[in-house]
Every structure is written in C-alpha cells, then in structure tokens.
A and B are shown apart, each in its own frame.
Chain A
Amino acid sequence: MVYAGIDIGSTAAKGVLLNEAKTEILARKLMPSGWNSRQTAEELHTWLLSLGHSREDLRIIATGYGRVSVPYADKTLTEITCHGKGAAFLGGGDLTVIDIGGQDTKVIVLTGGRVTDFVMNDKCSAGTGKFLEVMANRMGLGLDEFFAMAETGREVKISSMCTVFAESEIVSLMGLGTPREDIACGAVGSVVSKVSALVNRKSPSGKYYLTGGFCEAGFLVRKLGEVLGAEVITSPDGRFAGAIGAALLG
C-alpha cells in the first residue's frame, strides 16, 4: 500500500505520493486548479494511476477547497489538519505553521505534531496570495518578476487592506510616478503585516514554518521573519504540505 494526498486549493492543485512507510515522497505533481475542480481532480487521478501502482494498492486522501470534487478519494480532511501534519513532517512537530494560500491564510499551532489551535483570515483576501496576484497583475508582472522587483525596492506604505481598494491605491501611486519596485515592496509588506497580525492572535511557539505557494519567495519569507522577530523556515516542498499531510493521514 502506498499513500497519495490530493490538495486542490483555490489557485493550485497538488498531488503527492508517499511510500508505504510514509517516510519518503515518491512523486509530486503541481498544476493550476483551473476553473473546474472536478476536471483537475480527474487529471490528478490519471497522473496517480500512471505511477505504477494499481488502484487497490493506493490509499487516496483529498483535502483543500476542492476536496469535495475528488470522487475517487477514500477520505477527505480539512486543509488545516493536513497542513499541520505536512508541516510537522517537513519541519518538526513543535512549530507554528503559516500557510499563505490563494484565497485564505491560516496559522496553525502544532504541539507534538498535533494541531492544538488554528486561526484563519476572515472572509476578505487581504494577506492572501490573491492580494499579491492582483497587485502583480496590475503592474503587468509575473509573480517571480514581482518578487525580484520588490527585493530591490524601498517600501511604500499601502494602507488599504482590501484588495480592491489597494489596487486603486497602487494605481494612484503609479500615477504619481512611484517606482514599481517600491510599490511591489509595499505590497509584500502589506501581506506580511496582515499575516503577522494573524499570527499574533495565537500563542506562537517562536518557530515558524511557511507552507503554500510562496515557499520559494525568499524575499517574502525574510520579511516575514523580520516582522515576527524569528526565523521562518520553509522548503520547496512547503507548497505540497497539504498534500503530504493528507497522504500521511491516509
């Protein structure tokens, strides 16, 4: 028996296959969630079945916003539990997980590998991946370019938390001739401050692990660490934390 985790988020869909002992990642798959979760789930199913294991030999756990669209899953779990478990696998069992997702941001407190507390952002998109995606788009940049530019900028304060208002705020800044670098830096700063406010609503352990799509955005990770006053650890597998956790719980 091998264990698969399927994590269909609002922006990206992730698949992971773990070995029988659940100690090693055998395969990873990352794709855009697209507009149809069911179709995305189907593509991940095809991928899973192409890995050389029969369906009987696979135990599949689905998580994420689109978990209800994975008819072939043996079980579904919420992304909170899965991200917690996945982060414990990647970074150890006693830490505070920060997951910046496409449409929500979560802070999960892990104690001895178990989720003991969590908080999610309220219903607006401030402090989520969506916020940065909208800002990058507005400036005609891909996310990689956006982060590269932000790193060289001097932070301008973006005061609106609301994505829609912040977008018009940066339009005004662009109108004033503010360099894109500074605006990008300001947008990252806005997300970081919103995320750290969420972290401070819980009793963090002082050790942080970042999961989600920004796990390789070094500038954001560093800024987050500066504001929290502690090191934020992550790894390229951070984006698969939900899927890894799901597979571990299979």
Chain B
Amino acid sequence: MLSLPKNFETFNDARKKSFMALYEAKQRGKKVVGVFCSYTPLELVYAAGAISVGLCGKSEQGIPEAEAHLPKTLCPLIKASYGMALTDQCPFFYFSDGILAETTCDGKKKMYELMSKFKPVHVMNLPQGRDQALALDAWTEEVKLAAKFLEGLFSVEITPEKLHDAIVYRNKVRRAIVDIYETAKLKPSPVSGYEISTIAESADFHFTDDDLVAKLQRTAKDLRERVRTGADGRPRVLITGCPNAGVRDKIIKTLEELGADYVCADNCAGPRTQKFMVDENSEPYRAIAERYLKINCSVMTPNTTRFDDIRELVKEYRADGVIEIVLHGCHTFAVEAFTVMNMVQNELGLPYMRLDTDFSQSDKGQIETRLGAFIEMMSAAA
C-alpha cells in the first residue's frame, strides 16, 4: 500500500516536494529500483520496466542515526546512505520497490545485510579483479541472477528485445552525459565543474515522462555555447578518488571560489566510467557484464587501467594538477592513492594533493587552506 512516511510532516518544504513528486509518479504506476554503485547494470532495471535512482548519501544527514547500527569509523557514504534509508528521510529509497546492490567494498556488502531487514535487497557478487579466472563468466551469471531478481520483484519478463532496447537507451544517456562533461575540455571551460557535476547527477533521478536523452543533449549544447568571461588563466584541476558528491560544497565549490576550475571528474560518476558503452550487437548479458567490468574502481585488483585513464584524462582535459579525495574508511582508494601520487608527480610532473575527509564541516577551514596553497602551487608552476 502506497503511503507517505510517518515523519513526513517534520520535513522541510524541499523534501516534502520531492516526496510528493515521487509519490505521484508511483501512483501513476512507476516502478523504482534503488542503486548505490556504478557497477550496477542499469540496463536490467530499464528492461524490467522500472527506473533507477542513485541512493548514495551526500551529506551528514542520517549519519548519527546510522552510527547506532554501524561503526563510527565506516566510510561516510555508507553511513549516510544507510542512515537516510533507515530514517525514511530519502524519498528515493522510501519509494524504491527494491535495491539492486553489489559487493564492491566490505563496508557496503555488510551494510546491505542490515538494509535487507527493511527493503528487498539483491546483492550481486562482483569479482575482485578483471583478470581472475572466470571473472567475466561469473559476472555474466551475476547479471543474469540480478535480472531474475527484478523479474520476480515486478512479475515481468525481461525479454531479449526489452534488454536490447534498454542497452541502446542507456548508451544514449551515457553518451549525452559524456558530452556534458566534455564541455570542460574547452579552455577556458565555459561552465564550472560544480555545475557540470550537479547536472550529470540529475540524470540519476529522472522519473518524469519527458525525454531524458533530449534534455541532456539540449543542456550540453547550451553549456557549450555559453560564454564565460574572466576565466583565462585559472588552473585546471582533475579530481580523482572516491565519489565526491558528499563533499561537493566543501571541496569543489571552495576550489572554484578560490580561483581554479574543476574540469574533470575521474570518479565513478564522471567520464572515466560513463565513456564505456555496452556492445549493442553481441549477446546482451555478456555484453553488459563486459562493459561493467571495465569500470576502474579501486576495489579491483590490480587496477592498472585506472592509471591509463588518469594519464589520458589529464591530457584530454589539460589538467594543471590532480587532487585526490579519499573518504575516511575507504581503504582501497586510500591505499591506491600512494601509486596515484607517484604517477602524477613523477611521471606526469604535475602537482598532486590528497585530501582525506568525510561529510562533516569540521575540517572546512583546513581544507580551504590546503586548496588555496594547492592553487598557488599550480599557478607558480604554470
């Protein structure tokens, strides 16, 4: 039975509005699947006649409540995601019919066990490396199992035709998102990286009936035609590492206010991931598995293709420096950061800075000083 959460009246107007919008969409029969990771094959969700929504926590909200169940030292993204879900504060989680999850990191896979107590959750077993024996075979089977879960959840059949259409559609969405990101290849970039990342992210929450691809294409065109004055000579930064939506205001906004441009997101939301397409002409399940296994997350070992990507992106986006964001508790990115630092400094000869942080505001001042110093360092090197 569709209803609003018990604490609905305590929400502010913006939150009430997004709850109502989704409530109405659900009343019209929309089916919703929550996802937490770029490894989740969205094609399956669309082939099942549902829409996907990204549920990663992006603020401190929900963290205190999450810490009643989860360790304080866990990554803020996992805590925030779980906390928002637990407290019914996130309309997208609340109205999700089920969650398509993955074993990307240890924190998340164990969190999903707790989450499954209050929502149907299917966890896909992601291989830990691309070169392992049977990695692609196993992952293809996982993609099929996930399809079965969705078929059961919605009592539908994912036919080869539906899957093919979904593949073609998601490829179009991805191309349009990459187009938006590539606006920043222009020097100077006509639009701030803060704005680009916000626009790209909005594609994760498309539950209206208008055409998402057309909308994104229009936006890309508008951005490209924009004229930005006074932006010459601003150092250009590539940001790598953990997902950064939860620190967008603390780091990206501050970086751009202090005089640099965030031109390239080398993370799971950015072009590094979006550029991979699913082969539309081969067996769909295997083609999906192949595409998703290419994603360069530090959970993979070895993860050498991430480094090839950074080299390429630095060149394509003409970056003057690299900032790595490591969220507290994210062991894989924290360890891999050492290799990234050596590569950026010694091989590419560019300034590199690593910021270890979480979603709190307690290090706002320190981060501002570090960003300021990093910009001065890039400017002096130019």
Q: Which of B353, B366, B380 contacts A81 (CB 8 A)?
A: B380
- Determine if A78 is an interface residue (Cβ-Cβ < 8 Å): yes
Residues of A within 8 A of B376 (CB): 77-78, 80-81, 115
Which residue of chain A is the closest to B366 with respect to CB atoms?
A: A123
Q: Are A81 and B377 in contact (CB under 8 A)?
A: yes
**B286 nearest CB across to chain A (Å):** 44
Asked if B190 is an interface residue, CB under 8 A from chain A, the answer is: no
Rounded to whole Å, the gap between the CB of A65 and the closest CB of chain B is 8
Chain A residues within 8 Å of B73, by CB: none
| A157 at the binding interface (Cβ < 8 Å) | no
B18 CB within 8 Å of chain A: no
**B381 cross-chain contacts in A, Cβ below 8 A:** 114, 116
By a CB distance below 8 angstroms, the chain B residues around A120 are 366, 369-370
C-alpha spacing A116/B349, complex, angstroms: 10
> A246 to chain B: closest CB distance in Å?
12
Give A78 to B345 CA distance when docked, in angstroms. 22
Measured in the bound complex, the distance between the Cα atoms of B366 and A123 in whole Å is: 7
Q: Which residues from B are CB-within-8-Å of A20?
A: none
State whether the Cβ of A79 lies closer than 8 Å to any Cβ in chain B: yes
B380 adjacent to A114 (CB under 8 Å): yes
Residue of A nearest to B363 (CB): A123
In the bound complex, how far is the Cα of B380 from the Cα of A65, in angstroms?
Answer: 21
Residues of B within 8 A of A181 (CB): none
The complex places the Cα of A234 from the Cα of B373 at a distance, in Å, of 23
- A81-B377, A123-B363 known; 5 new pairs, CB 8 Å cut-off, are A65-B369, A80-B372, A117-B351, A120-B370, A122-B366
Q: Report chain B residues within 8 Å CB of A123.
A: 362-363, 366
For the complex of A and B, list the 3 residue pairs with the smallest distance between their C-beta atoms, beginning with the closest: A80-B373, A78-B373, A78-B372
B348-361 interface bits toward A, Cβ cutoff 8 Å, 1 = contact, 0 = none = 00011100100000
Main secondary structure of the interface of A (DSSP, over half): mixed
Q: Which residue of B lies closest to A77 (CB)?
A: B376
Q: How far is the CB of A88 from chain B (nearest CB, A)?
A: 12
Give the docked Cα–Cα distance between A107 and B373 (Å): 12
**B369, A116: Cβ atoms closer than 8 Å:** no
CB distance from B238 to the nearest CB of A (A): 17
Contact partners of B369 in chain A: CB under 8 A: 65, 78-80, 120
The answer to the question of A104 belonging to the interface, with a C-beta cut-off of 8 Å to chain B, is yes
CA distance A115 to B352 in the complex (A): 12
6 inter-chain pairs at a CB distance below 8 angstroms, sorted by A residue, are: A80-B373, A80-B376, A114-B380, A116-B381, A118-B373, A122-B363
- Within 8 Å CB of B345, what residues of A? 117
Count residues of chain B with CB under 8 A from any CB of chain A. 16
Q: Considering the complex, which residues of chain B in the window 318-335 have a beta carbon less than 8 Å from any beta carbon of chain A? A: none
Query: A115–B356 Cα gap in the complex (Å)?
Result: 21
Residues of chain A within 8 A (CB-CB) of B372 are: 77-78, 80
Chain B residues within an 8 Å CB radius of A115: 373, 376-377, 380
Q: Which residues of A contact B356 (CB under 8 A)?
A: 122
B366 engages A104 (CB within 8 Å): yes
Kindly state the separation between the CA atoms of A114 and B372 in the bound complex, as whole angstroms: 15
Does B351 contact A116, Cβ atoms closer than 8 Å?
yes
Chain B residue at minimal CB-CB distance from A114:
B380
Contact call B363/A81, Cβ cutoff below 8 A: no
Among B345, B353, B363, B372, chain A packs the most CB atoms within 10 A around the CB of: B372
A77 to B377, CA, bound (A): 11
Chain B residues near A118: list those with CB within 8 A: 353, 373, 377
Given the complex of chains A and B, what is the CA–CA distance between A65 and B369 in angstroms?
8
Which residues of A from 77 to 91 have beta carbons under 8 Å from B? 77-81
Say yes or no: B373 contacts A81, CB within 8 Å.
yes
Name the B residues within 8 Å of A80 (CB-CB): 369-370, 372-373, 376-377
A-side contacts of B362, CB under 8 Å: 123
Q: Chain B: which residue is nearest A108 at the CB level?
A: B373
A120 to B366, CA, bound (A): 9
**Residues of A contacting B377 in the complex (Cβ-Cβ under 8 angstroms):** 80-81, 114-116, 118
Residues of B within 8 A of A116 (CB): 351, 377, 381
CA distance A171 to B223 in the complex (A): 62
Alpha-carbon distance A68/B205, docked complex (angstroms): 40
- How far in angstroms is the closest Cβ of chain A from B334? 13
Q: Which of A77, A114, A116, A120 has the most chain B CB atoms closer than 10 A to its own CB?
A: A116
